Amino acid sequence: MPPTLSAPGYQQVSIADLGTHLSQVTFVVVDLETTGGSPKDSAITEIGAVKVRGGQVLGEFQTLVDPGHEIPPYISVLTGITSMMVATAPRIDAVLPGFLEFARGAVLVAHNAPFDLGFLKAACAESGIPWPGAASVDTAVLARRLLSRDEVPNCKLGTLAPYFSAATSPTHRALDDARATVDVLHGLFERLGPLGVTTLEELTGLTRQIDPERRRKRHLADGVPHGPGVYLFRGPRDEPLYVGTSTDLRSRVRSYFSSSEQRSRITEMVRLAHRIDTISCAHALEAAVRELRLIAEHKPRYNRRSRFPERALWVRLTEEPFPRLSVVRRVRPDAGVFLGPFPDRRAADAAVAAVHEVLPLRQCTARLSPRTPVSACVLAGMGRCGAPCTGAQSVVEYADIAAVFAAAVHSDPRPLMAPLLDRVDRLAAEERYEDAAVLRDRIAVLVRAVRRRQRLESLAAVPELVLARPDGTGGWELSVVRYGRLVAAGTAPSGSTVRRVLPGLLATAETLPGIDVAPTTSVDETELVLRWLEKPGTRLVQLTGTLASPAPGTGAYSGFLGQVEAGRAERDPFADGRSLGTRARPERIASPA
């Protein structure tokens, strides 16, 4: 009988055997409280951490930390941690060794991990302690990959904790927030099983997952050239899906088929795409302008910005014997004074409310006749209106009041702004801080709108100007602008001169009917041109007409706007600037092709 051969020593292993199973991984969930939003000028005031493995809590770490300076009052209101509470607490260099020992060998977990880990790394660097370089998991990003917007509106900790029935509610105290994050982490782990993610390696690679279908479409970028321009993804019926712009078309388009592109809507768009069209441009300004025009024309479903420029809102001072303020969508020449545009109704209403605080313009919508008096409304009794409807105010007297608003829009906002700012000071002196803050924010909206209107109007009134910017290689990027619209773009390469190229550029430039006929372009396009004009290094080559800012304008209110922005940052110094919106549908993991 022949000898029996033993089977080769091969064994089929499951995917769970190819990495560290999540049930065997020790996680340390950490949360920090700090004196501000950046480790450059802020410090840690509290560290809270929870060590877990296999769904079981192994230990907790919590300590207050002396930041070395006073804790700002608004931080104390937010976190409940005061300077007195941390007066006897250890400094961060004394706390870090204990925390790092607690977290030794574990995977660090945090909600908005760049914030917490950024502070810890900065503290280690300042204390001369080497950072261990542990693996990390961001529950905010993980939630964004696994939850749909039908389940939660966003992926903030305060939203996810009640959704997963966390035993501890987030309170802006480190240990409470860490405990809540533990429950969120376990809730997210329950979503990983159906997706086939069972190991630490698969978990950390989840955010870098490349859809095989998207990878197979890399050939769509084969013919895309280098250089600035616009690209347009087209769908199965040749419909525009998405329009974008780049200074290097080939590199940008190729990135849509790599792991660097993780936006859910873009992933979905790439799956639908059948073709990519490109338009090479002379420089970045031409590319940005063409992108705006294509988005406004085609309204691609996967573009979010600039799809509906016609939806912008304006505040109009009507043309009638007793004009009033009205929020409208269209600007018509010689139809009154227009202020804007505003991005939404809320901003427009805030500007109108600010004007009504100091100008007794009528707020009723009926048309009034100087010859037919009617009864007054309650605003007249409150002193908020001069009651022109009753004949108590003549057309000339009322026109003097309306002229203050018109002057503010066109050139001099001081008569309108001065009483508004005085009112803010009076409210603050009376300790009516909430009312003062509301009025201050309304004034800021009004000032920004006036400033934007004046800047755009000054450029839109210029019949023609030629701009040049250095291209970085010894040549020049040229733009011809008429009434705020880009009508020609070109380059003067190194070795050539602008004057030699300019005649041909002007000869082929788009001809416009003129500013008195109709607006020649969108506000967004004029704003793009204006920003390009104001960049350092831009040269004014040729000008027809006058390019000037109105005087005195809004320059005197730059300090006020800066204070408002600083106050807004102080109100929420820990705001996560990343997009944490949920996906249209949960992530699906597929095996590589």
Please identify every residue annotated as catalytic. Answer: 172
List Cβ neighbours of 281 (8 Å cut-off, separation of 6 or more). 227, 228, 229, 230, 287, 290, 489
User: Where are the extended beta strands (E) located within 256-366?
Assistant: 275-280, 313-317, 325-328, 337-342
The residue type at 162: P
Cβ pair 278, 249 in contact under 8 A: yes
Chain position carrying tokens 């065997």: 24
- For residues 456 and 468, what is the distance between their CA atoms, to the nearest angstrom? 20
Distance CA 449, CA 342 (A): 7
Q: b/e per residue, 484-495, with b = 16+ CB within 10 A?
A: bbbbbbbbbeee
What SS3 state is found at 497? coil
Question: C-alpha angle 74/77/78, rounded to 5°?
Answer: 90
By the 8 A CB rule, do 337 and 551 touch?
no
Sole residue written with tokens 């009376």: 430
Question: CA separation (Å) from 533 to 326, 368, 467, 490, 540?
Answer: 33, 45, 7, 15, 8
Q: What is the DSSP string of 414-431?
A: HHHHHHHHHHHHHHHHTT
Helix, strand, coil percentages, rounded to 5, for the chain: 40, 20, 40
Backbone angles phi, psi at 396, to 5 degrees: -65, -45
Q: What's the CA gap between 252 and 246, in Å, rounded?
A: 6
